[in-house]
Structure 1
Amino acid sequence: MLVIPAIDLREGKCVRLVEGRLDQETVYSDDPVAMAALWQKKGAQMLHVVDLDGAFSGAPKNLDVIKEILAAVQIPVQVGGGIRNMQAVELLLEIGAARVILGTAAILKPELVAEACSRYGDAILVGIDGRSGRVAIEGWGLTVEKGTIELAEEMKGLGIKRVVFTDIRRDGTLQGPNLEATGELARTTGLRVIASGGVSTVDDLRALKKLEPLGVDAVIMGKALYAGTVSISEALSIAAEEREVS
């Protein structure tokens, strides 16, 4: 299982929110570029960068910082947040993003997902953010009627092979991931799933690892790493054990 440290950008800083709420923000670094370099130095094999300002506004807002991060590291970086047209997709891939994550666009502009998949294949992921089984969009400010599995099936039909699944109620809370919903999404759809939200202990990682045969092959870690409840070395060690066993 791949462990992917998260770098959430707001006003050029590296922050973490609780359940996506701006009034529950913790600033962990004024220098997200240095943070990205640190995760690479500590052994991370990929980074997850989210433009929170972009997610809330509907258009990328931290492009300068993202460019600096991409220039500072050699490992692949997947980027999401406010990407709602083909120009934004193309720009991020041109400046070096390995993957682009479409979220709100999956609901509002499924034709964009289809076109992006047709052009760029596996470089396009969809972020499925769930609140009580329903999909949340626009920086998690709006919950729609569509279910998470229903959306995943639709995205699979458009060519998506991998999704990032976040249980909003768990994100930034350190209460553990939603194993049931994560496993069900992978089992039902056959998609590759990157789990996100709630990981707080090494036991959480081991529990997620048990879902790997279903297709849950990566986990995004944010607050647990920044708050120190799990070290990057511990997380990577568990991932290495898994590779040795398999």
Structure 2
Amino acid sequence: MIIIPAIDLYRGQCVRLRKGRFDQISVYDYSPITLAQGYALQGAQRLHIVDLDGAKSGTIEQLHLIQAMHAPGLCLQVGGGIRSLETAKTCLQAGINKLVLGSIAVINPNLTAQIIELTKPENIVLALDVQIKNNLPKPAINGWQVPTDTNLWDLVNHYQQLGITQILCTDIESDGMMNGPNFQLYQEAVTRFPQIGWQASGGIRDINDLEKLSTIGIAAAILGRMLYESDFDITSYLARKAW
């Protein structure tokens, strides 16, 4: 399992939301560019960057800043407002390695299929951020502001048939809370779709959570608030895993 630091951008600043709510936002006094470079120096191979302005407006808005966050050897997976073929092309031309598709994958499967065909499935990460309703995970859209009645597992099955192999799944209730991830959700995800490389996001607190996710079979852990507010060090963790 790899570690993927998350940097959420809002109006050019590093922020974290709680449960995806823009009225519960923490702003961190870090330069996004310096932070990205620091994660690369610690040994991170990939960054997960979200343009929250883009997620709200429907079109990516901070691409120039994101380009400046690139560091040698660092893979950028970027989401937030990629909802058209033109935007997807623009991101690829800007040097983005992997496009993160969220809302569009839920509300417009036909357009999503076109983007997948354009970019190739291996360059796409689906971001399916869910709320649990009657024990069923249901994706929310538009920066988590709008709930849907779509069944997560039906959606995953559809996109797996189109060649998608990487899915980031967030339990919105856990996001930014530092109360632990939804292990039950991720266990079910891996059991139902073992061929998918699942990325877990939301609520991860410490090394114990990481070890449990790894044991479940999660491919990657997305770390946000934990990196800002704890003494967790990527370099030390990677060294420990190499023992």
Letter of the 2:205 counterpart: S
The correspondence for 1:199, drawn from 190, 200, 204, is 204
Contact 2:45–2:73 (8 Å) recurs in 1 = no
Mapping 1:95-110, distance limit 5 Å: 95-110=94-109
Other structure's SS at 1:118 match: helix
**Do the aligned residues in 2 keep the contact of 1:20 with 1:171 (CA within 8 Å)?**
yes
Letter in 2 for 1:113: T
Give distance in 1, aligned partners of 2:13 and 2:82: 19
Unpaired runs of 5+ in structure 2?
Answer: none
* The structure with more helix, counted as a fraction of residues: 1
Q: Give, in whole Å, the separation in 2 of the partners of 1:104 and 1:43.
A: 31
* 1:8 is aligned to 2:8: yes
- With structure 1 as the length reference, what TM-score do the two structures score? 0.91
* Contact 1:200–1:230 (8 Å) recurs in 2: no
Q: Indicate the residue corresponding to 1:28 in structure 2.
A: 28
Tell me which residue corresponds to 1:59. Answer: 59
Per-residue CA deviations over 1:171-196 (Å, capped at 9, x if unaligned) read 11001111110121122123211111
Structure 1 residue 141, shift from structure 2 partner: 0.5
Q: Which residue of 1 aligns with 2:219?
A: 217
Give the deviation of 1:84 after TM superposition. Answer: 0.3
Q: Which runs of 5+ in 1 are unaligned?
A: 242-246
Any conservation in 2 of the 1:171–1:197 contact (CA below 8 Å)? yes
Q: Who is 2:234 aligned against?
A: 232
* Secondary structure of the structure 2 residue equivalent to 1:210: helix
How many pairs were matched up? 237
Tell me the distance in 2 between the aligned counterparts of 1:45 and 1:158: 26
- Residues 68 and 107 from structure 1, CA distance in 2 versus in 1: closer, same or farther, beyond 3 angstroms? same
Task: Name the CA distance, whole Å, in 2 between partners of 1:43 and 1:95.
Answer: 23
Instruction: Give the counterpart letter for 2:118 in structure 1.
Output: R
Deviation at 1:237, TM superposition (A): 3.7
- Structure 1's 28 and 73: CA in aligned 2 closer, same or farther, altered over 3 A? farther
Residue 221 of structure 1, CA deviation: 0.4
Q: Which residue of 1 aligns with 2:172?
A: 168
- Corresponding residue of 1:123: 123
What is the match of residue 48 of structure 1?
48
TM-score of the pair, normalised by structure 2? 0.92
Q: Distance in 1 between matches of 2:237 and 2:150?
A: 34
> Secondary structure of 2:148's match?
strand
**CA deviation vs aligned residue, 1:8-50 (integer Å, no higher than 9, x gap):** 0000011111111112111123510111001111111111100
Partner in structure 1 of residue 110 of structure 2: 111
CA-CA distance at 1:55 after TM superposition: 0.7
- Structure 2 residue identity aligned to 1:205: L
* Partner AA of 2:203 in structure 1: G
Which has the higher mean CA deviation after the structures are superposed, 95-104 or 146-155? 146-155
Aligned alpha-carbon RMSD (Å): 1.5
- Runs of 4+, deviation exceeding 3 Å: 237-241
Counterparts of 1:101 and 1:163 in 2: how far apart (Å)?
Answer: 9
Identity of aligned residues (%): 36
Say if 1:87 and 1:180 are closer, same or farther in 2 by CA, change over 3 A.
same
